[in-house]
Structure 1
Amino acid sequence: MRPIHMILSGFGPYPGREEVNFSKLGGNGVFLITGPTGSGKTTIFDGITYALFGAASTQVRDKSSLRSDFAEEDTETYVELLFWHKGKEYTIRRSPKYERRKKRGSGVTLSNESALLLEEDKRPLETVTEVNNRIEEILGFNYKQFKQLGMLAQGEFMELLLASSRDRVEIFRDLFQTKAYEELQRRLSEEAKGLKDRLTDLSSRMAELLGQAGFEKTEGLLPAELAHQVKEDWEKEKLRKREVEEELKRTRKSLKELEEKGAEYFKLEKELFREIEKNKKKKKDWEEQAVKAASLETALTELLEKNKLQREKEKRELKELLEEKKESQKKQKELLGWERQLLEIEGAIKEKKREEEGLLFLLKEFSELAKEQKKQESLKQSYEIQLKKEKEVRARYQEKEELYRSTAIGLAARFLEEGKPCPVCGSLSHPNKAKVSKEVPDQQEVDHWKELAQKERVRLDEVFAATQENLGALKKRKADTKAACEKEGILDEAEGKEKYCLLQQEEKELCLRLKNCKSKEKEAKGLEKLLLSLEKREETLKRQEEKGRLREEGETEKLRERLSKESLKAAEKRTIFEEGVRVEETLKEKLEATAKRLSLDISFVEVERKSLECQIKELEQKRDFSVARLGKLKTAWETLKLRLAERQELEEKYGIWQNLDNITKGKNKDRLVFEQYVLAVYFEEVLESANLRLAEMTSGRYELRKVRRVEDARTTNSLDIEIFDNYTGKCRPVKSLSGGESFKAALCLALGMADMIEASIGGIRIDTLFIDEGFGSLDEESLDQALKSLLSLTGQKHLIGIISHINELKERIDQQIVIEKGRSGSHIVKK
């Protein structure tokens, strides 16, 4: 990137429009920007950086403060830059956010941040985001990289030289775009971890599958052993299933023979069971009917008791109601006298308010009277001041007039000669001629002071008239106030305030009494409503008592009728139950006779039958278990073959990816992280390029070296710098260099890094280098060496701009941009 032409308007210390024509400085070479401290030298760099990236050249300058404080309200603030890059010209214009005068009407308005980029054969870009993205795309580097490569800003010049190794890694990572190596390392780790997780998951699923098939201890077994064990268990389970099915067949046959032998007995037994069940139902019906009758009898007793309690409750409520009514009537009589008292208090409050209004008016009059008195004093002082001023001006006028008249006599005396008569007195001798004063007023000055004296006299008369007028009004207000005081019966303002406060206190007491009376009035109205409510409640209770008595009599009679019917039904059901018991006894005798005839041990038959049924159930469960396990074993065998093949493939892949991950992480014999290795290579090449210039600038004394440490290279300490001194043959820290030596080392390091960027990263080309201050720390020889090194760059088609105010550079560099500083801002006077 090479700047061609730049316009600064209302920017930094420049109040108006300033132009910098870089094309006049030549296609290559060194130029100087010089001027007083604070004149705006660095602002030239700020303009270029802001135009390209929307930010100043240093972090201490915020873009919100770029608007010039010297600029007129109508002046626009913007930077316009025409630059060349890779054979093409581009024009970019940016404006920061600032306040300006409205184009229509008065006041100011906020002008938002804006950007515009023009390039050949493409549409203009007019949004800040589009312009920012396109500029980085054109140049191939961002703001941070530009500051490191093309803009060595004041205060940040030594940053790369003195930065910690960790910070230097971050700088190099951005400049040499090695984040891809870090991303590669991360992806290798993720891929290795993913394969390991898949292996772990596969092992878990295989263990779960074998566990479902009945294998508990599978750890430590090889895949072939697992397969053999599954197949062996499958064959054993087939044999076990056949044995269980044969045993089940024999047991079912025995159960059938036993059931046929006791069929007749069980038939009678079932009949007996049916009869017993019928009798149970009959007994249950009888018992339920008896409970029902007893329940009705209990309900009747409870109803009578409940009715008794309800009557007592209603009588108690009625008695309480009559007592409450009597008490309310008594309170109502007591509250009748409060209505008259309420009217008296309201009248007294109105009277107090009237007196308060009169006193409040009088107090306001006192306040206005005090204001009038102050006004009169102020007018009196104004009159005295104006009187003094009028006297001074009149005296000055009289003095000027007297001097003017005496001057006329002095002018006539100039023409008197010895021996010739005076035209005034006729004397021939003139020993003491009148002299003319050096400070002689003319007629115009005399007239001016006369006019001033007359104006001051007019002002004096006006002030006097205003004083007299206000004095009359003051006397009238005093008289009116005195009459009002006599009417209200007070002597002065203090007594009026005291009486006003007393009236307010009395009014508060009356208001409290009024509130109490209203409360009593409200209570009386409430009692009246309560009495009406109590009378209605009394009538309601009497009606409810009569209705309740009639309803209870009817309910009691109905319940007695139901009790009589249910008792009769209970007796009938008892008779039916007793008949069923006799039938049950007959069946039992018949069942015993049949058992003797069949010669059966009934208890043994039942026990044997239950035993056989349990055996059958157990055998069926064993058979079902074998069938299920055979299915699981078959599934496990088929699935296991697939899982084992998959596991072998995953283990091979995992071995490859894990080995790559270990290599890039630094788990290798050299313990070197992959990205650190790449950065170290770049760093060595940067130092090599920097040392070529440093050797020239220091007469071969110094060279920059990367620190060699015997420690873990996986850390970010692999880019530390030390300085090798060829005079002593020893290395020492770069911080031990002097100010001038540090400047030369930092400059060489920055230039070496720029060389490496251009050589190694495609698309990035650094055609222009800007250096802000730093040359003041160099002696004459070092300055010559630094300039020689910089001039060698210009032979490679580089343009180098230097900010400095030291005279040595002004004498050595012909191409200069000179800035002049004034009270109204700065201006570029030489371009």
Structure 2
Amino acid sequence: MKPLKLTIKNIASFTGEHAIDFSLLGNMFLICGKTGSGKTTVLDSLTYALYGSLPGSRRQNEIRSLRSDFCGPQEECYVELDFMLNGKTYRVRRTLPVDRITRNGTVAANAEEVELYRLDGTEAELMSRQKSEADSLIQSLISLSADEFSRIILLPQGDFAEFLRQKSSERKIVLSKLFPIERFTRTAERLKEKRNSLSSMLEEVMGNLQRLEQAFPGSQAGERIREYENEAEKASKKCEELRALLFDIQTESRGLEEKIGLHGDYEAAVKELEKLLSQADEQKADEENLSQLREAVRIEPFLDAAEQAQAKRNRIQKDSADVQSQLENLARIKTDSESRRDEYERFRERIPELSSLIQNAQLALGAAEELRTAEQRLCGIENGIQNESAAIQSINEKLEPLQKIAQNEDSLREAGEAAERELFATEYLHLKALEKDAHKTESDLQKTAENARIILNGFSEERENIRKTSGAYFLAQNLEEGKPCPVCGSLHHPHPAESEKQTLGLEEKIRTQQNLCEQAERSLRKAQDDKKELQGRIAQSRENLARFTEDFIAECEKEAENIDTASVAERQKTARREREKQAAAYTEFEKACALIREYEAALKIPQEKLRELEKDKAAAQAAFEHGQRQLADLLSRIPADIPQSGQAAAEAEQRAQTVQNILTSLRGERERLENAVRAYDEQRTRTEKAIAELTGKEAVLKSELNSSEKENDSCRTTLYEAVENSVFVSAARDITERIERIRAVLQNKAYINELERKIENYKTEKQRLEILCGEKKALLSGSLEEMQAARERLSLQKNETEKDLGESENALADIRTKLSDAKAKAGEYEHLEKRRKELFAELADYEKIYNAVSGKNPKKIQLESWILQMYLEEVCLYAAKRLERISDGRYTMYVKDADGGRGYRGLDLEIYDSYTGKRRACSTLSGGETFMASISLALAVSDTVQAKNGGVQLDSLFIDEGFGSLDDTALEKALSVLDEIRGSRCIGLVSHVASLKTRIGARLEIEKGLTGSRIKTVQG
């Protein structure tokens, strides 16, 4: 990932919009400025644009701190970054949340907005506007998480310096975030879970085996199964014998039952025949009823024809009477209509007059509506004039106090410059006082180191003198038994020369004094490093003073000659408070000026509206007066006899309502007359038409009545002849009674088929029973009493046999149940034993693997610690080469070989010093040495991550602070290393060290002001 352009608006100390074009800065540039000016804000903005969070431990809860304190609560705050990755260009824009007031008065925050684009020339293709989706896309593109980015791309020097001084347990946590060991951790957890699961399963199987052994010993299973099988075979044979005996008994019983059944069948058939013969009289009555019903059905068509002819004649007679009555009513209606003809003719003449009056009333209504509209418009204009006048007055009242504040601009600016001048002066004086203290400290430490070295030289000379006077002792140190003495040649040395006691004490003093010398020199080097850093800050402060007059600078220089730290501290606090006070006052002044411009712009709007309203008022007044005259003229044309036509209303609503009432009255009268005339014409037409239709219908009905009389006489004659020739002649003396008898018989017409079936069934059943009785009687043989006694005997024998069979089958079932249970337990025992062996073998394998990865191994190291050790050794390999180069071959970094406790072995670092030939802990390094080691370590982590993951392109590096602790030589070495590794990378250095400006031409200068910081780009 390589940044191309960063745009920020109202972020942290920056007010307004600021853009950084990284393409103008080359591959290495410096981000410099005073403390608190906003150098680190540039790196924060990069991280926030990509990940929506801040570097390090600040994270989400401090995102709101990015919002500038100099901007208004509703002003937009955003970060926009264009960056290149794999030859493609992307743009991401994030807008910070803004607080808003809800309807119920509470404060709520709008959500953060994010947009991700793919850029192709001048075209921008939107990839996402959803925060979660955009975050996921960016992380997949860069292949680094926010933690990895903040540690690998930003290279925070303080963090890596802290990493050098951390304990093994703390260092393990940091390495776990930098390198992917989650899958190894998960593997160890899964192995533990699998081992525990297998152990639980084995315990469960062992418990089941123990319970089964107690209930059913496995050694006796075969013998029990054989016993149960023999008993089952014997019981099965006995059951088969009893079933055969039972079958013979049942066969004999069925034959006997058939013979006994023949006697019963014969007796039943005889009883059924006797019952049927008792129904002979009923059968005879049914035959007589069937004969009469068939005769009545033959006469039924003649009876129906006579009845239909009679009904037709009666209907025609009734229709004829109805027509005659209707003709009489229509004649009376026609006479009444003729008497009212003149009245309705007058109605016809009145309708056109009313239409003309309605037209005039409609015109008057339109005029009244126009008059009301004109009056409303006039009232609206007058209200608008009042509102705009009130708005102008309100704005003028707000402007008056703001204009008083704006008149103090010159005094505020002068006071602010004076406060800033005093603050810069006190800062410079404070640094100069610290420089005096640093000179004194350096001088004292230099004297201490020289004195310690003089004492050490004295001890060394004394030791050398003793050596010269005690040569025999030093020769005796090299004597070995069996080898000749270089002085006397003896092979035995019973009394070698001894050293004086003072020599041993002197060696202890020399070692102690050497430690004191080293400690004094380290303290001196640290004091010199601190002094160099202080001189850089003084140079920066001197540049700040260069903005003022030479006399002021000379006055500060003169005052610095006699200043001390204690006297300038309170003055510096007062200057800072005064500057903050003046900055706040100037901020209020700028806000007042902004409000004045807003109010002056807002004042023009109501003034312009007021002028336009004054013009519109004259036109509206003229339109209102014209409408009044037009309405009065139209109302005068309506006759006085129309209701409400003479009323005059003063108000607009009353005028319109009066005209509307007149129009409604005219329309109602016209509608009434039109309806009356229309109803009269329709009634007259209907009456004449109905008279003509009924006259024709009367003639038709007379003709139909003559024909129906003849038809009725003919049908009745035919019916009488049919009745006289039927069986019903003897049923009654009169023809009418005979016909009624026929009608009564015909009511049972639906049962004719049923009677026919009943009679036929009787005959058929009688014949069948007579034949059956003859056949059953021929089959009878033997005595019924003997057969019943034999049946009783067989029943007793069957019951005893079934009882014996049931007992034998129950015994067989019990034996088979025991046999099945024995076989099942034997199979279960075999299965559990097999499962136990399998689980035991599998658990042993997993136990070995888990012990290997969990630290229960000969080296007592966990898998994740071993993986991190491999990563750390690779990082240390890269770091050692760079550290050796920066330190001119003096220092090299190693992973400590000593064992660590609790699984942290191999995670300690140490530094080899070629000057002393010894290794020492990282915590003993000075400030400059720590920077050299931490920059080497940071770059090594970056190299390791890129080497391990080919998908990660580390095209950018940003190094934040740490250069102030280096001397000129070490600084040049560090810059040369960075220059070697940059290649096509973009490397940014964040520092306030003044000397870096002369070494790095391209830079971003962050200038701090009273109302916020600004960015100045200087091209190399």
**TM-score (norm. length: structure 2):** 0.40
**TM-score (norm. length: structure 1):** 0.49
> Max radius of gyration: which structure?
2
- The structure with more helix, counted as a fraction of residues: 2
